[in-house]
Copies of this chain bind each other. A is one copy, B any other.
Amino acid sequence: MLRGNMATVDHSLVAKLPLFAGFGTEELDEILREARSLRIAKNRNVFEQGEDAHSFFVLLHGHVRASKTTPMGEQVVVRYVAPGETFGVAMAIGLQRYPATATAVDDSVALAWPSATWPRLVARFPALAANTLQTIGSRLQETQTRVVEMSTQQVEQRVANALLRLAKQSGHKVEHGVEIGFPISRQDIAQMTGTTLHTVSRILSSWESRGLVEGGRQRIVLREPHKLFMLAEPSPDGSEPPARP
């Protein structure tokens, strides 16, 4: 079954989504009635950069990578979407087209609303706009943090930060540490941190030899998150002179 109606969706799960914070059962039903659910097979695109923003989504299962391609053909990973998060909300922020490509990195399931329903839903449930504002605000924060890191940190620190963030978002405990909950290549990490897969590979190799992480094909386990954290965090020990007195 590729598409279904909402009767098949776990209601108690949907009710917990940030997007629907503060909504009652009836309101929820009214909103969900407009959505369809869809499966996305691993490595398929949900939508592509530049495409008309026909729908917005909430991810229910799986993981989705949002990436941008430059005119030169280089790719940059914008973020990974975890279950419960919204994506493709271009229309809500005033865009006619998707600014990035969304690719399932695992078999995934999402709810989809036609973008055209957004204005009506917002008019009827103003809290939707407020909730989305919080979400987009958080994303802005994260993106700015990334800019700061890229401006001030070395590659090794950036990679450490990226992995810690992924582990926090989508990590699950395994025998010897925390494993990133979806397939991710050296290339992907490079595209998240503004470096090359070669450099990422070297860094991970070095970490592996020190017992900090354990790697595999598209697979990373953090064995010593605390040590990684120390690597990531530039210690403000020696008092740096403020640049602008």
A residues adjacent to B (C-beta < 8 A):
68-76, 78, 92-95, 99, 122-123, 126, 129-130, 132-134, 136-141, 143-144, 146-148, 150-152, 187, 191, 194, 233-236, 239-244
Residues of B within 8 A of A191 (CB): 151
Q: Please pick, from B73, B129, B152, B242, the residue contacting A243 in the complex, using a CB distance under 8 A.
A: B73
Across the interface, do A133 and B138 meet the contact criterion of CB distance under 8 Å?
A: no
Closest chain-B Cβ to A231's Cβ sits at a distance in Å of: 14
Residues of B within 8 A of A137 (CB): 92-95, 136
Please report the C-alpha to C-alpha distance between residue A140 and residue B71 in the assembled complex, in whole angstroms: 20
Please report the C-alpha to C-alpha distance between residue A130 and residue B143 in the assembled complex, in whole angstroms: 21
Please report the C-alpha to C-alpha distance between residue A244 and residue B241 in the assembled complex, in whole angstroms: 44
Please report the C-alpha to C-alpha distance between residue A146 and residue B141 in the assembled complex, in whole angstroms: 14
Chain B residue at minimal CB-CB distance from A137: B93
Across the interface, do A99 and B234 meet the contact criterion of CB distance under 8 Å?
A: no
Q: Please pick, from B130, B240, B241, the residue contacting A129 in the complex, using a CB distance under 8 A.
A: B130
Contacts A93-B134, A93-B137, A137-B94 given; does A243 touch B99 at CB 8 Å: no
Across the interface, do B147 and A76 meet the contact criterion of CB distance under 8 Å?
A: yes
Chain B residue at minimal CB-CB distance from A241: B73
Closest chain-B Cβ to A230's Cβ sits at a distance in Å of: 13
Q: Please pick, from B73, B75, B150, B235, the residue contacting A194 in the complex, using a CB distance under 8 A.
A: B150
Please report the C-alpha to C-alpha distance between residue A148 and residue B75 in the assembled complex, in whole angstroms: 8
Contacts A71-B233, A99-B141, A129-B129 given; does A151 touch B76 at CB 8 Å: yes
Residues of B within 8 A of A187 (CB): 243
Across the interface, do A136 and B93 meet the contact criterion of CB distance under 8 Å?
A: yes
Please report the C-alpha to C-alpha distance between residue A127 and residue B236 in the assembled complex, in whole angstroms: 43
Q: Please pick, from B70, B151, B234, B239, the residue contacting A152 in the complex, using a CB distance under 8 A.
A: B70
Please report the C-alpha to C-alpha distance between residue A121 and residue B144 in the assembled complex, in whole angstroms: 27
Across the interface, do B72 and A236 meet the contact criterion of CB distance under 8 Å?
A: yes
Across the interface, do B234 and A93 meet the contact criterion of CB distance under 8 Å?
A: no
Closest chain-B Cβ to A121's Cβ sits at a distance in Å of: 12
Chain B residue at minimal CB-CB distance from A119: B130
Chain B residue at minimal CB-CB distance from A126: B126
Closest chain-B Cβ to A97's Cβ sits at a distance in Å of: 12
